Amino acid sequence: MARAVTLLLGVHAHQPAGNFREVVDDAHARCYRPFLHILHRYPDFRFAIHVSGWLLGELQQRFPKDVALLGEMVARGQVELFGGGDTEPVLAAIPARDRRGQLDALSERLHSVLGARPEGAWLTERVWEATVVPELADAGIGFVTVDDYHFLCAGRTMDELSGYFSTEDNDRRLDLFPISEALRYRIPFAPASEAIAYLESLAGADGDEPAAVYFDDIEKFGIWPETHRWVYEERWLEQFIEGVLASPVLSTGHYGDYRRRHATRGVVYLPTTSYIEMNEWTLPPQAAQVYSGLVEQERAAGRYDQARPFVRGGIWRNFFSRYPESNWMHKRMLSLSRRLDALPSGQAPARLRELLYLAQANDAYWHGLFGGLYLPHLRRGVYNALVELERALDLLQPRVSPWRDDLDLDGRDEVFLHNHAVQVVVRDDEDAAVLEFDAYALAHNFGDTLTRRTEHYNRKLTSGEQDHSAESGIASPHDRVSFRHQINPQDLLPDPRPRRLFLDTWHPTCGENGPAGGALAPEYRQAARDQLQWQAATAGGSIEKSYRLDGEALVVSWRFLGLGAGEFETRVDLALPSCDGFLGRVQVDGTILGGFGSPLTLPSTTGLTLDDGVLGGTLSLDSSRPVAVTAAPHFTVSQSEAGFEKIMQAFSLQLRVALSAPEESLELTLRPRPTP
């Protein structure tokens, strides 16, 4: 029997830029190295691979022999390289000018390191918007892979999806290969024999040569739970390769070769979407609950296969509206992209473009099955790049200070105050609290925290759902419920107010507690070049609040007029890279009191120092009068492929001072410094 099915198998290898070294080492040992070495033994098994730029650079530097092995496989025609954005951005979420630059950067890197330029490209998280077509085509990319689900949403049927289709936008053509969901859930989770039997069942009529399209994360071949044992120790990968090569109806091929041998199946216009799981993750909890209910309703009625393209969830960009922290990073990135693009030709060093591209890496901007936005080190990587880039741009083209704008499009202005050493961004809303506090010498944003909120998957923690096991093979992480940490009910309580710096509350001795700057509606007043002021009225009095910069320090002052007896409290949520690790220390007068991961109570103090070994610096807090301090780590709960986990997001300081005189004041100074 003639070979009738061409298996187009592709794998996508990626690590977030700046990921922990031990994570990359583990991924290399458990997945990248064994995968490449096994495939190298089977030169007739052709496949495609996409490696994101930062990861390729890390592998080249630290594991050059394995990169050379991959280059050998490219040279002998076994491996087809796929391009994409160099730092793995969601192309649809960055400006067109940066899409082209990102695509060209990875193509140049692939040619330099592995000796070939890509014809096809991997779309990050398979996020499809038609607006990406022109930049892909102009960068020399002829085809991409998206899910078969994308085609079903356009009204195509599964029977039609055995080749590739063509689309266009702004007079540019791009070809589209539909990734098989059935293969994604079989490879490598089903026994090799079952996966091969499914592939053979796709054999077409005489003369036809359907393509079986698979392109998914290489991390499923060794890093996801149970997969290293299954894929390598129990020889799943070798059994699969040998079974495909021995099959009378299967052959392996490259996407580009298949495209040259076969005509397009026709024109198609896909809606804005991603893979089906993403469409649920992007929805707010209540909407996600409704979506899940509709899915279960259709499953129970036996209609889901027909209805699922039309019972559709959200789109990837919803993460910006779901998470203000993600939206703020994204809009800050866009504003700096505009500033960089506005520089005269030839004035910007190449390093500035590199920093912008690092800030566009997708990983910190969203959250689904993986930690993403919930992982502080990923957000920190974005802010490190943004802060360093902004400082460099200020040296080339200084900004006005202060300046205000509704940068994140939420209907409230943000006010920026900066000098050569620090920057503070205050949202002009009912809290008048600090949204961002940057130390340029440390390239760090101390305001990079995360508010605890309800997530759709929290129901799994309270409903007693158990692990779902596959009938044969191993369970996909999409189907499992497991725990990395003990989760208590209080760990799931959403924050009543956002996590920021200098979030104020006034507790009068008589009467109910009321937030100073909440219902009091503070009014913004600009007092001087280096100072911002707000004023809030209270029953019988007022509170004046100001922010000013003093060299490398941020000074926050309050003046209390006619409040009567009571207690004033301000909360300072600080992003400290050491989190609950051993390199974070709280010191008072040179005495170490504990780490950031432990509760702390100081009845009275006028200053403390936070020493962070990961940051490579300190943050001192000094008070103009004795204050009581209560501090504790702030945790959130999120899901990941390894199970539900608690992650420290901030070291939260509650500072309190008793007031009794008709007129009193308080001044707090934050001074960040690199470690000598």
Just list the catalytic residues: 125, 217
- Contacts of 95 by beta carbon, 8 Å cutoff, 6+ apart: 334, 337, 338, 341
Do the beta carbons of residue 554 and residue 424 sit within 8 Å? Answer: yes
Q: Give the integer Cα–Cα distance in Å for 582 and 510.
A: 43
* DSSP tag of 477: G
Per DSSP, which regions of 99-142 are E strands?
120-122
- Cα distances (angstroms) measured from residue 272 to each of 22, 132, 146, 217, 314: 37, 11, 11, 22, 10
Q: Give the integer Cα–Cα distance in Å for 528 and 533.
A: 9
β 47-51/5-13 pair status: parallel
**Angle CA 467–470–473, to nearest 5:** 130
Do the beta carbons of residue 360 and residue 89 sit within 8 Å? Answer: yes
- Residue 246 — φ and ψ, nearest 5°? -85, -15
Do the beta carbons of residue 584 and residue 615 sit within 8 Å? Answer: no
Do the beta carbons of residue 644 and residue 638 sit within 8 Å? Answer: yes
The SS3 of residue 17 is: coil
* DSSP tag of 273: B
Q: Give the integer Cα–Cα distance in Å for 268 and 249.
A: 29
In the numeric block, which tokens belong to residue 64? 């050059």
Per DSSP, which regions of 475-583 are E strands?
501-508, 523-528, 531-538, 541-550, 553-561, 566-574
Cross-strand pairs, 657: 568
How many Å is the maximal CA-CA distance in the chain? 96
Q: Of 611, 595, 606, 659, nearest to 628 (Cα)?
A: 606
Q: Give the integer Cα–Cα distance in Å for 144 and 121.
A: 5
- Contacts of 91 by beta carbon, 8 Å cutoff, 6+ apart: 84, 85, 99, 102, 103, 123, 124, 127, 132, 135, 136
Q: Give the integer Cα–Cα distance in Å for 24 and 59.
A: 9
For tokens 């509760």, the residue is: 599
Do the beta carbons of residue 147 and residue 161 sit within 8 Å? Answer: no
**Amino acid sitting at position 210:** P
Sign (positive/negative) of CA torsion 185, 191, 194, 200?
positive
Q: Give the integer Cα–Cα distance in Å for 608 and 589.
A: 7
- Cα distances (angstroms) measured from residue 380 to each of 282, 332, 363: 22, 14, 11
**Angle CA 215–46–189, to nearest 5:** 45
